[in-house]
Structure 1
Amino acid sequence: MLQALAKSPRFDSSSSRLRDLVNLIDAGSIRPDAADFRRLIADCTDLRLLHEARCIHSLVHRHGLAGDRLIGNYLVKMFVRCGDIDRAREVFDRVSARDVILWTEMIAAYGERGYFQESLELWKIMRLEGAMPDLIAFVTALKSCCCPASLGDGALIHWMILESGLGSNVIVETALVNMYARCGRIEQATAMFFGISHRDIVAWNAIIAVNAERGHFGQAMHLFHSLLLEGERSPNKSTYVAVLSACRDLHDLKLLHSCSIHSGLELHVEVATALVHAYAQLGHLSISRSIFDRLLCQDRDIVLWNAMIEAYAQEGDRESIALFRQMQLLGCHPDRATFLSLLSACSAMVDLEEGKRLHSRIGSCLEDFQIQNSLLAMYARCGRLELAQLLFDGMPERSVFSWNSMVAAYAQHGHLDQVFQSLKRMQNEGVKPDSVTFVSVLSACSGAGLLVEGRSHFEFVKRHIREWPSTEHYGCMIDLLGRLGRLEEAERLVLEVPDKAADAVLWRTLLAASRTYGDLERGRRAAERVVDLDPDDSAAYVVLYNTVAT
């Protein structure tokens, strides 16, 4: 009866019609049977209506069908699709005679939401209960083995796959390539890939992507070239997205761009977005913009808009704001990533008024932790320390990034007392200062000429911070010593800098101090080191020439 009503013009499967059906059943106007409920649950699953899903679950109990195995399967899938994983698990645990499809559905639900440990725990329970995994179950479980800690689980699943006779299936082999790569075994992943007898494009995409994600950019490019040379498979949009993320050379990028044009994929929105990112990363914003402009307005999604806005924002370019306004006029709604990029642009441009306008438009994203930190950093950068402090005090959770923003703001504006008070409060609240915190603290000490405090904090960094003092830490101390005329001590400090932190900036700092105090010989030595480290520094050559002439 319910099926007939649902097929009638009055009751189709739209959300409003489904709600009407649920209300009719609830009122007792319709008495559905098990088949009717399965149809209703399937429609609710497609529409992803969580409130109605919970009502249907209650109605199933009221009609005495909670023990029906098929309805139980349908309910689990419905709650998974509607995003209520706890209710899905509650129903799952009550289903009798669970088949491998239902086990896989629940295991996948945990994995897709990032609950990898829960996913693998459920996999182990499935095996203990004697359910025999199939190809899809194996692939689903492997997706949850995504960090070095889960390598043992992944290796065990690999052994089970071999025992089941599915080891030569290309889908399973590709999943194993991904698993070993995510668990940090890139060499084993590569060996697995080259052991696949019939590599399809999905397998190629997997090995290129994992190399790109792990920072093996040269290997990712080499694999792409190998794919082209093999000639049996044509790159698809996923191939280009993966390899473009690994491109760090303009010549290679232009080659990839040319290949995407030849493949007819250049203006596919995902490939275009990857091209925009790649050109912007190499400093070629004009090419990024030309690709962006070639896509029709209706073909641009929020990810592409965000890529172009982010590219301008990273350069502190006001065009990021103009694009944001254009995006809104065309009916594309900003998301969290949009606001993060724009707030970064406002900070870089020190544009308080635009920052305030953005703050008023953020809406529900204001609850986001990163948005709160970006707003705080923007107000601090724009000199509105009282607004930054107000935001900071109202944050339910303050990370080291939040504290660093406040410490940096007070240091930048010379509020020494607040710098040291914030550092103390930070430590009292159990937040451990990091290397970035102490760059701000040392910068404040340098600006105020506080030698004792500067030395104390610098020694703390050397003893307690995991990252050995960086170029920035040394730079602050050398600047402090130089300002106070302690040039011999400053030079000794430059000479003790580890090779990994060596930088022409440190010698330039010493050079400037030497000129201020008229120490020509020390200035000559500093200028020589600047030239060694940065042969293009013309100012250092001038100093050397003047020193010799003198």
Structure 2
Amino acid sequence: MEREEGIRLMQSCHSLTRAKDIHIRIQHLHTPGDVFFSNKLIEMYGRCGCPQRARKIFNAMDARNSFTWELMLAAYARDRQLENARGIFDAMPERLLFSWTVMVSAYAQSGHLDEAKRVFDAMETRNLNGHIPIAKKIFSIMPQRNLITWSTMLAALAQNGNADQAKYLFDNMPERNLVCWNTLLSAYAQNGHLVEAAKLFHEIPLRCPVSWNVMLGAYAEHGFVEEAQELFAEMPVRNLVSSTAMLGVYAHSGRVAEAKALFDGLPERDMVANTAMLSSFAANGFADEAELMFVKSLPQWDAVSSNVMIGLYAWHGRIDDAKRVFEDMPQRDSKSSDTMLAGLIHAQDVDEAKVLLQEMPHWSLIQATEMLKLFSSASRFDEAKLVFDAMAEHDSISGTAMLAAYTASGDLAHAKESFDALPEQDIVSWSALLSAYARAGHVEEAKCVFDTMPERDTVAWSSMAAAYAQNGHLLESSVLLREMPEWDIVSWTAVLAGYGQNGHIGVAKRMFDGMPSRDSVAWSAMLVVSALNGRFDQVFRVVDEMVTVERPDPVCFIVHLLACAHFGRVYAGRCCFVSMSQDYGLKPAKQHFSCMVDLLSRGGYQLQATQPWDTGGQECDGFESKGLGWLRAPGKHLSGE
């Protein structure tokens, strides 16, 4: 191989594997004293991301010129090896303008603006405060600076949020080009200084599409819809970037029709524009339109569009569709797993969420806390504790969640330990500890916590009143109720349940009738206490009243089915069971199937009671045996009903 051919191969190489192969093929052409050839090898390995091999060649050279040092410096800088780059920089026999610029750029791109303040005489005399980075120190002592160096330093300050210092540097530049104007404009936009950004935008001598798009993006990001729309209308030339930014403006402000009109009028569309329109549909509740676009219109699915659909499906309870999109993704990013996990948690799919969490390399504090809460709600307290112990850090929210888990499991000792270990005890954690004692019937301890609380909210008052009522201290509960500064639905419901559980069904019903408003929990509480006190006739009356004003929850259907079984109303019970899924979209749980077995058995329909049920995967055990005991009664069939 000729020398010229070897040089041409080195100059065209951009992959490390090929670089190694080329080096082997041209070894016979290279000698340590050939500075030009050695420089080309250093340049090739630096370009291919292997400064270690470049350094071996550098060290083996008999002689070096200024280009050798600069190429070695650039190789380290490109690979973000700042210490090695600084070592080469400090050892250089002479430093050209290129070398200074490379060092400034290397520090800037690596975000090293937290290095301590040192000599930067030109800036110190102007009383600039704060931390001055290494990049500034180098910049301040450079023998000369060109426009590229000034622009590099300006970009470093802008990208790291130092808008004021960027403006100072901008004002002192000996000359400026459009890149400098746009860099400072971006600094203002990224830091939310929209007034300054707008002022600077109008001062730019000659604006380019980048200037317009930066200003439009700033308005879009901060929700300035009218300003963005006015600027978009004034743009002399619109490109795909500006149109996509405007799509985001319309999407965030709920103006889907305008977003669709703009999207339909685009002469060309890329994946970013398609995803912006898809996000507009999804974020504003247009689920059918989003699904149609995702399935029919997108030329390809990327991680961003797939993440949008995973979130949309999960939010609408279509967890199987969300799983399908997630599993079909050719490549996932961290947002994919985050979105899928949030969907599984929202759907209360404990096992699937657990599997996904275990596959994730890192857990955020929010993810781990939500998973802890999910395990706790499913009464899987040991697994909740495992998640808590595996967390890299804890805050008041995660600590309170673990406190609530101990409370739900009845472990008061660990609940108190969790409370004492909290980094900060707020009103939520105080209320959780109060609820722990109240639920366990430790009224005196609950009252001690209540009296010690630095402040009390409605939840604390309600928990204390309910603790009195549920443990038979009705006089104390009544007194506390009169002292409460305000009542809400939770307060009414908690005390109502307390009276009902202690046999005061008349008082509970009067409280229920006097409630200013009711939610599904309040209705469920009234149904439950009616059933507990054997007032099944009242259950039917409450149900008849409820369905006209409130959507029943699964507990309501359980109580209703129990009442039907008590009175032998088989047909009414069957109607209730069918209505649960067909009218309200609720999936029956094993307790509902158990109630149906009980209903049919009590009514004498043993054949139907013992036939296999399509439980949708629900396991029936324990609770279901209650109904099977009635199978000893004489049988009959449903065909005559």
TM over 0.5: yes
Asked if structure 2 preserves the Cα contact closer than 8 Å seen for 1:313 and 1:341, the reply is yes
Tell me which amino acid in the other structure corresponds to 1:223. E
What's the secondary structure of 1:149's corresponding residue? Answer: coil
Q: CA RMSD in A?
A: 4.3
1:422 aligns to what? Answer: 387
State the shift of 1:122 in Å: 0.6
Does residue 176 in structure 1 map to residue 182 in structure 2?
A: no
2:574 aligns to what? Answer: none
State the shift of 1:225 in Å: 2.0
What is the rounded CA distance, in whole Å, between the counterparts of 1:472 and 1:347 in structure 2?
A: 28
Map 1:109-258 to 2 at 5 A: 115=80, 118-119=81-82, 121-135=84-98, 137-138=100-101, 141-145=104-108, 146-150=111-115, 151-161=132-142, 164-166=143-145, 169-182=146-159, 185-196=162-173, 198-213=175-190, 216-217=191-192, 219=193, 221-230=194-203, 232-234=205-207, 236-237=209-210, 240-241=213-214, 244-245=217-218, 250=223, 252-258=224-230
The change in CA–CA distance for 1:210 and 1:65 in structure 2 (over 3 A counts) is same
One of 354, 377, 399 as aligned partner of 1:438: 399
1:325 aligns to what? Answer: 295
What is the rounded CA distance, in whole Å, between the counterparts of 2:407 and 2:77 in structure 1?
A: 50
The change in CA–CA distance for 1:136 and 1:382 in structure 2 (over 3 A counts) is farther
What is the rounded CA distance, in whole Å, between the counterparts of 1:350 and 1:405 in structure 2?
A: 18
Residue-pair matches, total: 457
One of 239, 246, 253 as aligned partner of 1:275: 246
Cα-to-partner distance string for 1:489-516 (whole Å, 9 max, x where unaligned):
56974727xxxxxxxxx65x45866997
What is the rounded CA distance, in whole Å, between the counterparts of 2:255 and 2:197 in structure 1?
A: 23
The change in CA–CA distance for 1:211 and 1:458 in structure 2 (over 3 A counts) is farther
Cα-to-partner distance string for 1:70-92 (whole Å, 9 max, x where unaligned):
44444444445445555555555
Does residue 35 in structure 1 map to residue 4 in structure 2?
A: yes
One of 445, 451, 455 as aligned partner of 1:495: 455
What is the rounded CA distance, in whole Å, between the counterparts of 1:341 and 1:321 in structure 2?
A: 10
What's the secondary structure of 1:210's corresponding residue? Answer: helix
Map 1:336-347 to 2 at 5 A: 337-347=304-314
TM-score by length of 1: 0.67
State the shift of 1:135 in Å: 5.0
> Structure 2: which 5+ residue stretches go unaligned?
116-131, 467-476, 489-514, 518-641
1:299 aligns to what? Answer: 269
State the shift of 1:396 in Å: 5.6
The change in CA–CA distance for 1:176 and 1:255 in structure 2 (over 3 A counts) is same
The change in CA–CA distance for 1:62 and 1:313 in structure 2 (over 3 A counts) is farther
What's the secondary structure of 1:237's corresponding residue? Answer: helix
What's the secondary structure of 1:299's corresponding residue? Answer: coil
The change in CA–CA distance for 1:83 and 1:122 in structure 2 (over 3 A counts) is closer
State the shift of 1:522 in Å: 4.5
State the shift of 1:112 in Å: 5.5
What is the rounded CA distance, in whole Å, between the counterparts of 2:426 and 2:76 in structure 1?
A: 41
Asked if structure 1 preserves the Cα contact closer than 8 Å seen for 2:217 and 2:245, the reply is yes
What is the rounded CA distance, in whole Å, between the counterparts of 2:282 and 2:69 in structure 1?
A: 46
State the shift of 1:222 in Å: 1.8
2:326 aligns to what? Answer: 359
1:547 aligns to what? Answer: none
Cα-to-partner distance string for 1:2-30 (whole Å, 9 max, x where unaligned):
xxxxxxxxxxxxxxxxxxxxxxxxxxxxx
Comparing both chains, which one has the higher relative contact order based on Cα–Cα distances under 8 Å and sequence gaps of 6 or more? Answer: 1
1:502 aligns to what? Answer: none
Asked if structure 2 preserves the Cα contact closer than 8 Å seen for 1:41 and 1:74, the reply is yes
One of 2, 7, 20 as aligned partner of 1:54: 20
What is the rounded CA distance, in whole Å, between the counterparts of 1:494 and 1:86 in structure 2?
A: 62
Cα-to-partner distance string for 1:362-420 (whole Å, 9 max, x where unaligned):
2353xx55644554444444333323333444556666566445323313434223212
Task: Kindly name which structure, 1 or 2, has the bigger radius of gyration based on alpha carbons.
Answer: 2
What is the rounded CA distance, in whole Å, between the counterparts of 1:140 and 1:68 in structure 2?
A: 27
Map 1:469-488 to 2 at 5 A: none
